[in-house]
Amino acid sequence: MADFPLPPGSTIGILGGGQLGRMLAMAAARLGFDVAILEPGPVSPAGRVSSLEICADYDDEDALEQLAASCDVVTFEFENVPAAALKTLAGFGTEVAPGPKALAFTQDRVEEKRFLVAHGVDTVAFEAIDSAEDIPAALERLGAPALLKTRREGYDGKGQAWVKDAGEAAAVFAAIGAKPAILEARADFVRELSVIAARGRDGQVAVYPMGENRHAGGVLRTTTAPAAVPDITRDRAIEIAGRILEGLDYVGVLGVELFELADGRLLVNEIAPRVHNTGHWTQDGCLCDQFEQHVRAVAGWPLGPTEARCAVEMENLLGADAERWAEIAAEPNAVLHLYGKGDARPGRKMGHVNRVKPLR
């Protein structure tokens, strides 16, 4: 096992080679670390900026052993990494952060909601769904319409569909793949907010200012930060993040999506045990962005400052949006971040732009 804090020159492993892994690798390099990537697909965005890329499935024991031998600590860029991979790495004596407990709860939406409720955090009402036959009774309790989501996997609007009445139960269940699911009551919220928080190995917690998010088609389009929120809302968000971090004995950066109700209450929509799209604004809005913060936490370093030094609107660049790169690059207050992906499929996240302006 490695001794913490890790000195510069150590190697950090990342499971996953997408854009989040890429930005983690770039942040790690700034702090003097090397990065090794394990990613099933060839020529990944993260692999192209890392010192070692292992192209193999996440359940490939030989590849995991190679990663373990190459690294002082391993983290992951997305929560759908098989939990068994973390256990295998631990068996090789490799430290993994965040730990298996975070994955166990966040890989299953029902278990995630139960965890939140058990730790005094409010969520939308929900019911576990094992078959289409469970939906009518659950709909009766929750009210219609309600949102049906697969318990596992699914992101950016995938693996979910609205159920308007009991007569749609079979069709909607089939539409999400007839997999174990969660049915969530409709939240009558006025806006979606998010908070990005981190916890270090010594238990230190750091929380960034809140962001206000706008979605289209189930995909995040913009985050504006710092969000205009009263102190009571900010303080409640900090409390929620702290309860989650402590409850998971967490090390690293965590994203928390929140619904703000008309009466000011906050409900947790989802948590993500990783750096998060709604935290991309921190790259140009804070001295220590979420990616550096995550590297600091898993490496056992002190956490960095989280205060906003400017206001930012982050816009996701989806598909052909990235073809506007020259136009965006000419904007005087825009900072362009492209992910090095070749195939600009519709809806695919190709990059983002942070537009900065002075704090009010």
| Per-residue pLDDT of the chain in tens (360 residues, 90 and over written 9) | 689 999 999 999 999 999 999 999 999 999 999 999 999 998 899 999 999 999 999 999 999 999 999 999 999 999 989 989 999 999 999 999 999 899 889 999 999 999 999 999 999 999 999 999 999 999 999 999 999 999 988 665 678 899 999 999 999 999 999 999 999 999 999 999 999 999 999 999 999 999 999 999 889 999 999 999 999 999 999 999 999 999 999 999 999 999 999 999 999 999 999 999 999 999 999 999 999 999 999 999 999 999 999 999 999 999 999 999 999 999 999 999 999 998 899 999 999 999 999 998
Tokens of 290: 């979420």
Strand pairing of 11-15 and 34-39? parallel
* Element at 255 (helix H, strand E): strand 252-261
The residue with tokens 């499935």 is: 57
In sequence order, what are the residues at sequence separation of 6 or more whose Cβ sits closer than 8 angstroms to the Cβ of residue 286? 208, 305, 306, 307, 308, 309
In sequence order, what are the residues at sequence separation of 6 or more whose Cβ sits closer than 8 angstroms to the Cβ of residue 100? 83, 86, 87, 90
In sequence order, what are the residues at sequence separation of 6 or more whose Cβ sits closer than 8 angstroms to the Cβ of residue 345? 319
* Element at 182 (helix H, strand E): strand 181-185
The model's pTM is 0.95
DSSP 344: -
Amino acid at 155: Y
pLDDT (tens digit, 9 = 90+) per residue, 59-96? Answer: 999 999 999 999 999 999 999 899 899 999 999 999 99
Whole-number pLDDT of residue 217: 86
Tokens of 205: 């917690």
Query: What's the CA gap between 197 and 207, in Å, rounded?
Result: 4
Whole-number pLDDT of residue 154: 67
Whole-number pLDDT of residue 226: 98
Whole-number pLDDT of residue 360: 81
Q: Are 97 and 301 in contact (CB under 8 A)?
A: no
Q: Are 317 and 348 in contact (CB under 8 A)?
A: no
Provide the sign of the torsion angle of the four alpha carbons 158, 164, 168, 173, taken in this order. positive
**CATH 3.30.470.20 domain residues, the chain:** 189-357
Whole-number pLDDT of residue 158: 72
Whole-number pLDDT of residue 138: 96
Whole-number pLDDT of residue 17: 97
Please provide the CATH number assigned to the domain covering 189-357.
3.30.470.20
**CATH 3.40.50.20 domain residues, the chain:** 11-96
Please provide the CATH number assigned to the domain covering 11-96.
3.40.50.20
pLDDT (tens digit, 9 = 90+) per residue, 254-263? Answer: 999 999 999 9
> CATH number of the domain at 125-185, out of 3.30.1370.10, 3.30.1490.20, 3.40.50.300, 3.90.550.10?
3.30.1490.20
C-alpha 125: how far from its chain's center?
Answer: 22
